[in-house]
Amino acid sequence: MESTGTGPEDAAVDRTRAALAALGADPDSAPDVPPEVTARITTALHNAHTVAAPPRSDTPAHAARPRTHPARLLAACCGLAAVAALIAVG
**Widest CA span of the chain, in angstroms?**
81
The residue with greater pLDDT, 79 or 7, is 79
How wide is the angle at C-alpha 6 spanned by C-alphas 4 and 9, nearest 5°? 90
Residue 41 lies in a domain: yes
Residue 61 lies in a domain: no
Distance between CA atoms of 10 and 57, rounded to whole angstroms? 45
Domain that holds residue 31: 8-47
Residue 30 lies in a domain: yes
pTM (two decimals): 0.31
Residue 52 lies in a domain: no
For residue range 24-78, what is the model confidence (pLDDT) as tens digits? Answer: 788 777 777 899 999 999 898 888 766 666 566 666 666 667 778 899 999 999 9
For residue range 16-30, what is the model confidence (pLDDT) as tens digits? Answer: 999 988 887 887 777
